[in-house]
């Protein structure tokens, strides 16, 4: 049964998040996770990756940020590195060139992601020059991704196993005989939507809850929303979920919509992604601008192309000599 469960974040890890990410207040930490997971989801769509790969990438992303500070790397770079790694070990790998092109587009000011809260007739036409990557820019971006990939794998102990609740949810609906009714397909659709939405949850539900509980909560919400009659007994106990845990997950999954609206109000309707620079500006507004906000490790300065190429050449020479 090990393939149906996940390694969860420990209470001590969750308790240490405030120290790890000092002086970032919890709401800023939630903003970073939300926008980065949102970017990962959008990138997966443009790369035409199966949803299970994108979902696994977001789970690994959140796991990594339980171990290393949020401000250590640029958020979009971490997203790209985790998505590249997750796709690479799947049946649908994507090239670094494809990933860098997609992220360059999504991070440009004219991408669809930046205008997702606007009406279609108010969206400006894309400007190819805003997301064109020169060969030098591509090499720099690629090297950042490869560097961060190693950091992520090391932080995770090379454990990339992720069990998703989506297959379990379909099995539970079959067990409850939901598909024998006219509402069965719609309930299944809403169940999957709730599970995908939970990937962006500020409560980090996928790090604190096993897949069976997530699947049960999504089924409960979808059935209630679509008016599907469920057994009058406490049916969730059959799936090894207690009432208290179910109640917490129902509240958590249902709270994302108001949370997302608040994020839009805070950062602006045309902000498809936030950056470390924007977060630093927020810290300055809070009177915390003199602190890096990276858990005391210090921000890693990005190398320019010439420095990177020189370092890589030195590494190759050293490898040959040994």
Q: Would you write out the chain's pLDDT as a tens digit for each of its 322 residues?
A: 667 899 999 999 999 998 999 889 999 999 999 999 999 999 999 999 999 999 999 999 999 999 999 999 999 999 999 999 999 999 999 999 999 999 999 999 878 787 665 555 555 666 787 788 999 999 999 999 999 999 999 999 999 999 999 999 999 999 999 999 999 999 999 999 999 999 999 999 999 999 999 999 999 999 999 999 999 999 999 999 999 999 999 999 999 999 999 999 999 877 889 999 999 999 998 888 655 545 444 444 445 555 555 555 555 545 545 4
298-306 LR contacts (CB < 8 Å, sep 24+): 299/71, 299/72, 300/72, 300/73, 302/74, 302/140, 302/144, 303/140, 304/140, 305/136, 305/139, 305/140
Q: What angle do CA 300, 303, 307 make, to 5 degrees?
A: 140
The pLDDT value recorded for residue 131 is: 85
Please give the Cα distance from 305 to 144 (Å, whole number): 11
Please give the Cα distance from 57 to 31 (Å, whole number): 18
DSSP 8-state secondary structure symbol assigned to residue 269? T
For residue 62, what are the contacts with CB-CB under 8 A and spacing of at least 6? 33, 37, 204, 206, 207
6-10 LR contacts (CB < 8 Å, sep 24+): 6/59, 6/161, 6/162, 6/163, 6/206, 6/210, 6/211, 7/63, 7/159, 7/161, 8/207, 8/208, 8/209, 8/210, 9/63, 9/66, 9/204, 9/207, 9/208
The pLDDT value recorded for residue 298 is: 42
The pLDDT value recorded for residue 300 is: 40
The pLDDT value recorded for residue 98 is: 97
The pLDDT value recorded for residue 195 is: 97
The pLDDT value recorded for residue 117 is: 53
Q: What domains lie within the chain, and their CATH numbers?
A: 23-162+268-280 (1.10.472.10), 166-254 (1.10.472)
What sign for the dihedral angle of Cα 42, 44, 50, 53? negative
- From residue 314, give the alpha-carbon distance in Å to each of 147, 148, 252, 310, 318: 16, 20, 50, 6, 6
């Amino acid at each position: 049964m090990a393939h149906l469960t996940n390694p969860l974040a420990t209470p001590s890890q969750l308790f240490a998040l405030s120290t790890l990410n000092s002086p970032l207040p919890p709401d800023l930490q939630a903003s970073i996770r939300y926008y980065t997971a949102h970017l990962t989801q959008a990138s997966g769509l443009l790369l035409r990756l199966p949803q299970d790969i994108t979902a696994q990438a977001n789970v690994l992303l959140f796991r990594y940020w339980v171990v290393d500070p949020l401000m250590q790397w640029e958020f979009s770079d971490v997203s790209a590195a985790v998505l590249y790694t997750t796709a690479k070990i799947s049946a649908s790998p994507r090239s670094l060139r494809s990933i860098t092109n997609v992220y360059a587009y999504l991070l440009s000011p004219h991408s669809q992601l930046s205008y997702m809260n606007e009406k279609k007739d108010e969206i400006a036409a894309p400007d190819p020059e805003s997301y064109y990557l020169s060969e030098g820019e591509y090499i720099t971006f690629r090297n950042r991704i490869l560097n961060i990939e190693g950091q992520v794998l090391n932080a995770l102990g090379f454990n990339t196993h992720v069990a998703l609740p989506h297959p379990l949810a379909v099995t539970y609906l079959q067990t409850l005989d939901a598909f024998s009714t006219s509402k069965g397909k719609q309930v299944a659709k809403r169940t999957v939507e709730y599970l995908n939405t939970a990937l962006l949850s500020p409560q980090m539900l996928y790090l604190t809850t096993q897949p069976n509980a997530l699947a049960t909560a999504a089924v409960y919400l979808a059935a209630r929303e679509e008016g599907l009659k469920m057994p009058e007994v406490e049916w969730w106990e059959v799936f090894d979920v207690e009432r208290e845990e179910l109640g917490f997950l129902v509240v958590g999954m249902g709270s994302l919509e108001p949370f997302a609206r608040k994020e839009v109000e805070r950062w602006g309707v045309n902000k498809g992604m936030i950056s470390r620079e924007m977060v630093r500006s927020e810290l300055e507004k809070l009177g915390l601008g003199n602190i890096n906000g990276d858990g005391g490790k210090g921000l890693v300065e990005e190398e320019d192309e010439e420095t990177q190429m020189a370092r890589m050449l030195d590494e190759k020479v050293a490898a040959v000599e040994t």
